[in-house]
Structure 1
Amino acid sequence: MTTPLRSCGALTALAAATFALGLAAPFTASAQAWPGKPISLVVPFPPGGSSDVLARALTDRLGQALGQPVIVESRPGAGATLGADYVSKAKADGHTLLMGAVHHTIATSVYRKLPYDFEKSFAPITTVALVPNVLVVNAKSTATDVKGVIALAKAAPGKFSYGSNGNGTVQHLIGTQFASLAGVDLLHVPYKGSAPLTTDLLGGQIDVSFDTLTPVLQHIKAGKLRAVAVTTGKRSTTLPEVPTLAESGMRDFDQGTWFGILAPAGTPKEVVTRLNTELVKIIQSPDFKKRMEEIGAEPIGNTPAEMEAQIRNDTAKYARLVKEAKVAID
């Protein structure tokens, strides 16, 4: 009687294994078939800014590597939260991606109600690059250093203006931190993106900006704008002669803007791994690094786990700054 029982158990185990393989087969085949159509890379900022430039530097080569076109889709608005919300609700099949940014870690604390959770609604893939923010004035300004900017601000309390890419963006928070450390009262002027912000800075409608280096670099090189200081902890390799805010007397000031690729939460791990592998190859390539030098960006290309930790740490960091600055948006 023992032999039949053992045979039955073996048959049961074999049947269970066969059933499990049968369930896994469609998923494996589906993962291998990805991508099955063009991929949309959603940029939540208007065209012309750093996120748009970075996205377009990636798409052609990523499309070639994946065998499907990667199309940049602009969905700006509400401090980059509209585009993020759109991607968070997209099908988690790897065909809709987000060009995320540090702004999204700030929005978590700034907006009282968000239709998504940035730490839970997305699957991090890789951080593409860090772009230093830079304190810039019109070339006609009398300010040539940070002390000069502070002097002008103190001479016009509540009227000396700085522009940002919108309420709750990193430029906004950099401005509030700068004002607090300098003991000045600045007028915040939010814009819908870097293009209109830079236009008004060139035209003299605002006094300074703390925008990313990419959209203002050509105007700095042309002598139309003057870079006073970078906001990151170390100097920019693109503008090595420009001091940091920390070097200019604002101790421990270290803020920049990173951009990275994310997918909707629940995207198959195989797809996330493939995207990370292909993107890191591109980011670490000589051609891409050369392009980053041209726009003042520093390529990164980390793992999904490292990007996840970065998001978690920055969310906590900016929650403190937002509370100190008393910034809130309904």
Structure 2
Amino acid sequence: MKLTQSQKKSAPAKSALTPTSRTTFALGLLAAATLCLMAAPASAQGYPDQPVKLVVPFPAGGTTDVLARALGQKLAEKIGQPVIIENKPGAGATIGAEYVARAKPDGYTLLMGAVHHTIATTFYRSLRYDFQKDFAPVTTVAMVPNVLVVNKKIGVKSFADLIELARREPGKLSFGSNGVGTGQHLIGERVQLMSKTKLLHVPYKGSGPLTTDLLGGQVDMSFDTITTVLPYINDNKLTALAVTTATRSAALPNVPTLDEAGLKGFDAGTWFGILAPQNTPEQTVTYLNNNLVQIIQSDVFKTEMSKIGAEVIGDSPEQMKARIADDTSRYAELVNSLNLKAN
């Protein structure tokens, strides 16, 4: 029977797919969906679905704490989960580090680490963790120069004045640090060695209590990071004599370096960075690195950090791992040459 023209228009069109090709097409869609899921970021697979804890191995108020809180707030906004700052001070930052090393490697417990941990590897005889083996580096946040500051009561206005006084009265002047085996401690020891002076080391649990005693005159000086003491330098409550890095700090452009002040070749600073427990899934580390680096290298964060004397970095896990290895080797040589060991 012949169809009329209108019947031809209304007749259903034949499918271009045969039963076999329909099956092939369906399998193709399934394969594509599977590949998309495999390529999805860690967050799409459930991370993070609860608050993230960022452990600070020092008391509140120091540079490590200030950086952690500034970064934690922005990370929380970016990942949609609270970032809780938990202070676990003591033993030159090793108590907090051990706590994170033993935590579940799921990305929910992180460490705000620092150069101090590379020193502790050699300084402490019986650490119950290995900083290079028991952590997964995420990214270095910032480098902060250290600065030699003195209480105004001792009446010195230059590094030369300080050295003259220290040589005249060996062992009388004291310097505080945020713990034995920390960067500040090692800087103080190296200054004594290079300047042929003898100072009394007074360790604290962190920069907060150290600064309180420095302002009160219980200790004469410190080699703390700029962030902690900058407000007191600006308010003329502490005198800055020299910064410890090879170049001057943008936050204190009129303060000379120790190299310029007479200790040729002196160059030391304090870096801070985020680490997770070893065996944290690689995709979780990558997810954290991507988000943190975006925050760290943003103009807003750079501006905030410059106001407190911090120079932002934001590198890859591999670059941070190399930094840790280099510093561990370098500080091992210094600790051993000074014969410094924890009891």
TM-score by length of 1: 0.90
AA aligned to 1:141 is: I
Describe the shift of the 1:28–1:259 C-alpha distance in structure 2 as closer, same or farther (beyond 3 A).
Answer: closer
Residue in 2 that maps onto 1:79? 92
Aligned residue among 172, 188, 191 for 1:175: 188
Residue 5 of structure 1 is matched in structure 2 by none
1:9-88 matched pairs, under 5 angstroms? 32-88=45-101
Pair 1:252 & 2:252 matched: no
Q: Deviations along 1:177-205, whole A, 9 cap, x unmatched? A: 00000001111011111111111111111
Q: How many residues align?
A: 309
Q: Alpha carbon RMSD of aligned pairs, Å?
A: 1.8
Q: Kindly provide the CA deviation profile for residues 283-308 of structure 1, in whole angstroms up to 9, marking residues without a partner as x.
A: 11111111111211111111111100
Q: Are the aligned partners of 2:149 and 2:223 in contact in 1 as well (CA < 8 Å)?
A: yes
1:119 paired residue among 119, 129, 132: 132
Gap change, CA 1:28 and 1:234, over 3 Å in 2: closer
Q: Is 2:298 aligned against 1:322? A: no
TM-score calculated relative to the size of structure 2 = 0.87
Letter in 2 for 1:222: D
The alpha-carbon distance between structure 1 residues 104 and 31, as it changes in their structure 2 partners (threshold 3 A), is farther
1:187 aligns with 2:206: no
Unaligned ranges ≥5, structure 1 = 1-17
Letter of the structure 1 residue corresponding to residue 310 of structure 2: A
**Residue 141 of structure 1: CA displacement?**
3.1
Deviation at 1:139, TM superposition (A): 2.6
Equivalent-residue separation in structure 1 for 2:42 and 2:161 (angstroms)? 63
> Which amino acid in the other structure matches residue 263 of structure 2?
M
Matched position secondary structure for 1:126: strand
1:29 and 1:176 map into 2 onto residues whose CA distance is 45
Matched, 1:136 2:123: no
1:196 is aligned to 209
Aligned to 2:278: 265
Cα distance per residue 1:9-38 (max 9 Å; x no partner): xxxxxxxxx9xx9xx97x988872101210
Deviations 1:186-238 (A, max 9, x none): 11011111111111111111111101111111000000001000001111010
8 A Cα contact 2:105 2:278, kept in partner = yes
What residue in structure 1 maps to residue 11 of structure 2? none
Structure 2 segments unaligned to the other structure (5+ residues): 1-30
- How does 1:126-165 map onto structure 2 within 5 Å? 126-165=139-178
Tell me if the contact between 2:42 and 2:287 (Cα under 8 Å) persists in the aligned partners.
no
Q: State the AA in 1 paired with 2:251.
A: T
1:279 and 2:268 matched: no
Q: Please tell me whether residue 233 in structure 1 is matched to residue 259 in structure 2.
A: no
Partners of 1:309 and 1:169 in 2: CA distance = 20
Amino acid at match of 1:127: T
Sort the Cα spacing of 1:29 and 1:204 in 2 relative to 1 into closer, same or farther, 3 A. Answer: closer
Change in Cα spacing, 1:327 to 1:286, as seen in structure 2 (3 Å) is same
1:90 aligns with 2:128: no
Amino acid at match of 1:145: S
Which consecutive segments of 4 or more residues in structure 1 shift more than 3 A?
27-31
Which entry has the higher C-alpha Rg, 1 or 2?
2
CA distance in 1: counterparts of 2:160 and 2:106, whole angstroms: 52
Contact 2:132 2:324 in 1 (8 A): yes
* AA aligned opposite 1:328: K
CA contact (8 A) 1:41 1:55 kept: yes
Separation in structure 2 between the aligned mates of residue 219 and residue 84 of structure 1, nearest angstrom: 30
> Which has the larger displacement, 281-290 or 111-120?
281-290
* 1:204/1:28 CA distance change after superposition, 3 Å: closer
How far apart, CA to CA, are the structure 2 residues paired with 1:230 and 1:141? Answer: 19
1:105 counterpart residue number: 118
Task: Indicate conservation of the 8 Å contact 2:41/2:287, yes or no.
Answer: no
| Distance in 1 separating the partners of 2:217 and 2:87 | 28
In 1, distance between residues paired with 2:152 and 2:234? 11
Confirm or deny: 8 A CA contact 1:164 1:210 kept in the other structure: yes
